[in-house]
Amino acid sequence: MAVTPDTRNRLGPLGGTAHESAQQTHNARGLRALNIYHAVWLNIRQMPLAAIVRKDVRDSIRSGSFIATTLLFVLVAGFWAVIQHVPPMYSDTTAPTSTLALLNSMGQPMAFFVPLLGLAISYGAIARERDSGTLRLALSLPNSRSDVVLGKFVGRTAVLSIAILSGYAVVAGIALLTYESFAAVKFILYTLLTGFYGTVYVAIGIGFSSAMKSQQRALGGAVGLYFFFQLGWDLVTAILQTVTVGYIPPESGVPPWLIVVDALNPTSAVGYATRAIIPTFDEIMSYPVSASFYPPKWAGFAILTAWLVLSLGYGHRRFQLTDIQ
């Protein structure tokens, strides 16, 4: 066939139509973009931090203690959701009973199990590997000590998130099927706050693990930390109150400094943070206390953030100075 000027306009460089040529160019660009994406992904996977996070997530999920604690968390959360328990109110409330029951079913397991989960999955993050000798191997690879601490923190936080989402997914399912109404916004806010709260305890556990020379010591320390934050801190503030103003506070109330000491406990700080974003929790958590001063509710976020940053900073500093045998 003779190639006329009109035909030449419709043919590509190899004799195909202009449309086919454009399609080939488009496909070539798409292939180049895919190759670039693949190369970037391979580089990310080979980064020391990403490798540590992946290994940490795999190892933690396979842990029997993690599986057992997560199942217990799911069962407890599900139990409170099923019975739809609403605790005694110390003030009038206009919130629906189903909302109060939902928040209580999330609050009960959070108070006791989230700190337990956070410490349980983080206390051996560094101490266990130091015991087994795998820490020296990890540091012999292109991994800095900062990579190890940050990678452990990110990996264990991801694992904790899986546990929390598992428990709260059960609560949401029960609420959607059996409650008169479902407060979706409050549920999402409280789930995010619970994740942040658990992250604080992961940071505390990793900071503590960095300072321990053996897994046994780290385990004993984690148990001690759990009971100190759950019971010991309250005992200390009760003793301070008894010594300074008496077991029964005077009419003027508890001294402001004592309220601040109590609020510095992460378990107290999360209460302030909760009431800051979900005012309905005031009706569940508040009880008559004689006090002349209360910290602002947003201070709970500042206190939790301080615990997280200082714990990781302490762990990083100790780990940098430690001689790995």
- SS3 of the chain: the string is CCCCHHHHHHECCCCCEHHHHHHHHHHHHHHHHHHHHHHHHHHHHHCHHHHHHHHHHHHHHCCHHHHHHHHHHHHHHHHHHHHCCCCCCCCCCCCCHHHHHHHHHHHHHHHHHHHHHHHHCCCCCCHHHHHHCHHHHHHHCCCCHHHHHHHHHHHHHHHHHHHHHHHHHHHHHHHHHHCCCCCHHHHHHHHHHHHHHHHHHHHHHHHHHHHCCCHHHHHHHHHHHHHHHHHHHHHHHHHHHHHHCCCCCCCCCECHHHHHHHHCCHHHHHHHHHHHHCHHHHHHHCCCCCECCCCCCCHHHHHHHHHHHHHHHHHHHHHHHCCCC
In sequence order, which residues have a C-beta less than 8 Å from that of residue 267 and are 6 or more positions away?
111, 115, 229, 230, 233
The whole-chain average pLDDT of the chain stands at 81
pLDDT of residue 147 exceeding 90, the answer is no
How would residue 70 be classed by pLDDT, with cut points 50, 70 and 90? confident
Whether 134 maps to a domain, the answer reads yes
In sequence order, which residues have a C-beta less than 8 Å from that of residue 45 and are 6 or more positions away?
51, 54
How many domains does the structure of the chain reveal?
A: 1
> For the segment 204-214, what is each residue's pLDDT rounded down to a tens digit?
999 988 888 78
How confident is the model over 45-52, as a mean pLDDT?
65
Q: Which of 7-11, 14-18, 186-190 has the lowest mean pLDDT?
A: 7-11
The model carries a pTM of 0.80
Whether 13 maps to a domain, the answer reads no
Whether 16 maps to a domain, the answer reads no
Which residue's structure tokens are 């979900």? 278
pLDDT of residue 49 exceeding 50, the answer is yes
Per-residue tokens: 217: 């010591």
Whether 229 maps to a domain, the answer reads yes
Whether 247 maps to a domain, the answer reads yes
Whether 274 maps to a domain, the answer reads yes
pLDDT, residue 22, reads 59
How confident is the model over 150-158, as a mean pLDDT?
91
pLDDT of residue 102 exceeding 70, the answer is yes
pLDDT, residue 89, reads 64
Question: What share of the chain has pLDDT > 70, as a percent?
Answer: 76
pLDDT, residue 298, reads 94
Q: How far apart are CA 165 and CA 34, in angstroms?
A: 33
pLDDT of residue 60 exceeding 70, the answer is yes
Length of the chain: 325
Which residue's structure tokens are 């790995």? 324
Burial of 165 (0-12, 13-18, 19+ CB in 10 A): middle
pLDDT, residue 292, reads 63
| Residues 68 and 256: beta-carbon distance below 8 Å | no
Q: Which residue has the higher pLDDT, 36 or 43?
A: 36
pLDDT, residue 324, reads 67
Domain that holds residue 227: 54-321
Q: CA-CA distances (angstroms) from residue 10 to 18, 21, 23, 87?
A: 5, 10, 14, 79
| Residues 170 and 78: beta-carbon distance below 8 Å | yes
Whether 308 maps to a domain, the answer reads yes
Whether 27 maps to a domain, the answer reads no
Residues linked to residue 17 through DSSP beta bridges, in sequence order: 11
Q: Which of 118-122, 123-127, 140-144 has the lowest mean pLDDT?
A: 140-144
pLDDT of residue 3 exceeding 60, the answer is no
Q: Among residues 325, 308, 320, which one has the least CA distance to residue 147?
A: 320
